[in-house]
């Protein structure tokens, strides 16, 4: 049985980026370009970001574990633009001074989608989008597993099922039994 993973097409993400301010852009790039869960994005501190080495340490990942993810150049740029020199505290603070809540992030994403003229999307669909885009860019499944923080490779493998051309492309690139 083929698994269908619901993701946001790149053109819709580009529409959302076009109508976003610096904060919204940083959030959208972080979730779509980093594969973060909404709860992880809500609890990042500026001190968790290593711009020099292009890493983000997530101390509060799923299951109480921590992990380190790669920060892609556009994600880093969006974060730097948003931070505008700020070097500490919550990445996305709330008005009360604590970290932003997950519901607030979903509200921001809903608002961006509405302003961009696209249907409502969940934050988790942005994470699915990152996984699909990664496979389309030929990122290996093990690296994707580590970036997403999946304990089992089987969890990550659902994305392979939704992108059958990935396997074909891998074999064609390999040159195995080529003429």
**Assigned CATH for 10-174:** 1.10.443.10
Compute the average pLDDT of residues 138-154.
Answer: 86
Q: Are the C-beta atoms of residues 126 and 8 closer than 8 Å to each other?
A: yes
What is the average pLDDT across 101-125?
95
Nearest Cα residue to 73 out of 57, 59, 55: 55
To which residue do tokens 């885009």 refer?
A: 133
Instruction: Quote the pLDDT of residue 100.
Output: 95
Report the C-alpha gap between 100 and 45 in whole angstroms. 11
Return the minimum-mean-pLDDT range out of 18-27, 123-132, 169-178.
169-178
Residue 28: CB atoms within 10 Å:
20
The average pLDDT across 113-122 equals: 94
State pTM to two decimals: 0.85
pLDDT of 1 strictly over 50:
no
In the chain, the percentage of residues whose pLDDT exceeds 70 is 89
């Amino acid at each position: 049985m083929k698994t269908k993973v619901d993701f946001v097409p790149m053109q819709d993400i580009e529409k959302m980026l076009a109508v976003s301010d610096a904060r919204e852009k940083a959030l959208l790039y972080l979730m779509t370009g980093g594969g973060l869960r909404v709860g992880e994005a809500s609890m990042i501190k500026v001190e968790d970001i290593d711009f020099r080495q292009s890493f983000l340490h997530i101390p509060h990942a799923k299951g109480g574990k921590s992990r380190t993810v790669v920060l892609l150049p556009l994600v880093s740029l969006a974060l730097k633009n948003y931070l505008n020199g700020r070097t500490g505290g919550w990445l996305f603070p709330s008005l009360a001074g604590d970290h932003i809540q997950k519901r607030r992030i979903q509200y921001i994403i809903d608002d961006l989608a509405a302003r961009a003229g696209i249907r409502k999307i969940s934050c988790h669909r942005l994470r699915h989008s990152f996984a699909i885009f990664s496979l389309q860019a030929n990122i290996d499944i093990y690296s994707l597993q580590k970036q997403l923080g999946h304990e089992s490779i089987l969890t990550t493998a659902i994305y392979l099922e939704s992108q059958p051309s990935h396997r074909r492309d891998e074999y064609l690139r390999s040159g195995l039994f080529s003429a």
